[in-house]
Structure 1
């Protein structure tokens, strides 16, 4: 009897130890660059370089608690109202150390080492920029996993979402998001392919500088890749490889059928394209009206036909850009996509996968008959 009594606790202890060993078994993850990275999953201490909303959406309720460091500057600067919503719902986010920004070369490897992460998740562009410093993380035994929503391709969007699912222990949830995104893209591309309509000529500009100065447009990246995916003929593609400004005379000569002006809610120029959290439709229309006053724009087909649109730059580089793809497809081919409700798609993603409920204007046409 004594042997049996003693045996039960020993057996229980053995099972606990065995379970811990099984949970801690290293797993190999392949990132978007094809790098095979070995680490213990799910990761408990995570440094996140970019894509906070995708990370929080995939990782579910526990995701915020696993963050030990973030690169916060871009998100907080461009989308402060949205960040405030997240902090209100998950106050622990306000306590996550800010490790600096790759864009302005303030990202700190020392601070990253100090928070002792299990993994550092970087955007592809961050990985390239930080390449000279990354051996220090490797020497400390800290794995780096690369994801990429900036490429705006179906393949990398799906892969990045699944990788986040592996890292956070939410593979099934990530797979569901990935499949929903695939369905949106395939619906758009298949309808356009079957219709065989002429491609509309499209111009897209980040309207952060206001009407007085032409800001970034996009070639093969970002909005340029999205325009290609949604059946647009990007007028900037022959002149801008990745991103840069297009000369006003070249834009006028291109005669776009559709114009998209992208922006954030937080702008430094009182005439810049302002759109997003807490921004009214009246403000968006007022800013769009300012842009169409540019010299020569009155003669552009897009302006004459009322096909000028404001779009939220904060919803790009994300699995949530499915709504923007729908909006663009509807703007380019209104007769093919009358059944789509991009605004509902955008807000529904938050309802299903994130703790906040955005309110504002995220995509809007200048003319009443435009896509809403």
Structure 2
């Protein structure tokens, strides 16, 4: 005859308590204090289980791996689907579940909904610095609801902010080692460019960069201390917009002509909303990009510019900026500014190489182009 001896109640209670503590310990141990790009100390779970993602979608996937999106519960979709529809189409073709993620609205168009965010119950919100600062009191409301906000920034285009933002995303996704590798890759690539330029000791060429989204008939954004302006600084150029534009905004055409840039960079996206806009990026042909670039060279007064006379007017993909992959753009600007120093560098191969190493899809298209060589 067999029987089971009852487990003494005090021991059973203690055992269950210990088991519960053991089960809870990893979650408790994963709580971590990080310092975000705004210098704010934020306590998060690493990896976070429910993430609301505001911007830098491809960077988040590259650093956190595709599986990191299993824990994304919502997006501010306009910055991806609206601003870069070809990229959105590429990634959603590979991962259709992205389309099912709830959209919480866009900060720039003032459609961002705090109520939608709260309904998704995220345990952390990852925002770009420009989003966080624009939200103001709404950001305070989210934090008062007990939801930590981690602020990152690739728009500033400094090595320090790129590295710090990459490591922060690594903490949110629990991919610290991968984040460190990507950050080190970025830092090494930029420092290699700068070392060559410093060793050569050549004078800085004057560079002008403009977002060509309005076409040649209307001057669009030039860049001062952020985005392409900051990339020009990293690549050893003398940014002619710096005295006139703080972050981004149009320059007076007469100022451009008076500055006599030696290198011109016109950036574009895949958008065809403006028929004459500069087009660059996914599924854009080299021939189309070159044709549109030439139309900018025909602007009134530009025939006298050193950059136009010497055919040093270049095209670049707007999406190849404000990203941890944009060391390829640093290489491209440096090659445009100092062609004799970087003949062995292929920036487009560098850009696509980032996708091959860190992302599940690789785009096809034209990401950098210039008239003389067509690549």
TM range (shorter): over 0.9
Distance 1:88 1:82 in 2: 10
Map of 2:70 onto structure 1: 65
Contact 1:308-1:367 within 8 A present in 2 as well: no
Aligned length: 369
What is the TM-score of this pair, normalised by structure 2? 0.94
Q: Residue 243 of structure 1 aligns with which residue?
A: 248
State how far apart, in whole Å, the 1-side matches of 2:167 and 2:137 are: 28
2:282 paired with 1:277: yes
* Deviation digits for residues 60-81 of structure 1 (CA, Å, limit 9, x no counterpart): 0211111111111122122212
Matched, 1:257 2:293: no
Structure 1 runs (4+) deviating above 6 angstroms are: 5-8, 10-13
> 2-side partners of 1:11 and 1:88: how far apart?
50
The 2-side partners of 1:168 and 1:114 are apart by 22
1:21 aligns with 2:28: no
**Runs of 5+ in structure 2 lacking a partner?**
none
Taking the aligned partners of 1:251 and 1:58, their CA distance within structure 2 comes to 39
Alignment partner of 1:322 is 2:344: no
One of 154, 174, 191 as aligned partner of 2:159: 154
- Alignment of structure 1 residues 48-59 onto 2, 5 Å: 48-59=53-64
How big is the alpha-carbon RMSD for the aligned residues of Structure 1 and Structure 2?
Answer: 2.0
Deviations 1:216-252 (A, max 9, x none): 1011111111101111011111111211111111111
* Partner Cα distance (2:15, 2:347) in 1: 56
Shift of 1:267: 3.1
2:212 alignment counterpart: 207
SS in structure 2 of the partner of residue 319 of structure 1: coil
Preserved CA contact (<8 Å) 2:44 2:172: no
Q: Does the Cα contact within 8 Å between 1:218 and 1:236 map onto a contact in 2?
A: yes
User: Match of 2:213, SS?
Assistant: coil
Shift in alpha-carbon separation, 1:347–1:15, aligned structure 2, 3 A:
farther
1:283 is displaced (CA, Å) by 0.5
Corresponding position: 1:313 with 2:334:
no
Structure 1: give runs of 5+ residues left out of the alignment. none
Alpha-carbon spacing, 1:325–1:2, altered in 2? closer, same or farther (3 Å): farther
Instruction: Give the aligned partner of residue 105 of structure 2.
Output: 100
Q: Does 1:231 align with 2:236?
A: yes
- Residues in 1 aligned to 2:44 and 2:252: alpha-carbon distance in whole angstroms: 48
The residue that corresponds to 2:202 in the other structure is 197
